[in-house]
Amino acid sequence: MTIRAGKKTKNEVSIQEPIGIDKEGNEISLMDILGTDCDSVIDEVELKMQIKKLYNKMSKVLKKREKIVIELRYGLANGGCKTQKEIAKLLGISRSYVSRIEKKALCKLKKAFNGLKEDSK
């Protein structure tokens, strides 16, 4: 009976069991390597907060066309990134004009976020 019971647990591994040693000589377990649900929830909340800040800045700083170009270019509207050529075709303007709009909009956003960082110090 003892042998049969041992066969069942023979292939089991504990997530707290050491699997190796890191550079500093500390033991590493599976639990250390595997991500936790808590970490992913925190990351997701942080990402949503950053996206909300971005949209707030975009609505305050950018003109309508600049906002459209940035949303389409980086997939903020529907998740699908578009090329400058595709955006140009959609808006009925040249690709080079889309490039200038994008560059100008990114500069505005950069200034807005840099100003935000200086205010929070």
Alpha-carbon distance 63 to 112, whole Å? 14
Nearest-CA neighbor of 14 among 2, 30, 25? 30
In CATH terms, is domain 37-119 a member of 2.40.160.20? Answer: no
Mean pLDDT by 10 residues, the chain (121 residues): 61 74 80 68 85 91 95 86 94 96 95 71 46
Q: What is the pTM of this model?
A: 0.60
Cite the residue boundaries of each domain of the chain with CATH code 1.10.10.10: 37-119
What integer pLDDT is reported at residue 29 of this predicted model?
Answer: 78
Q: Exposed, middle or buried, 72 (CB in 10 Å: 0-12/13-18/19+)?
A: buried
What integer pLDDT is reported at residue 89 of this predicted model?
Answer: 96
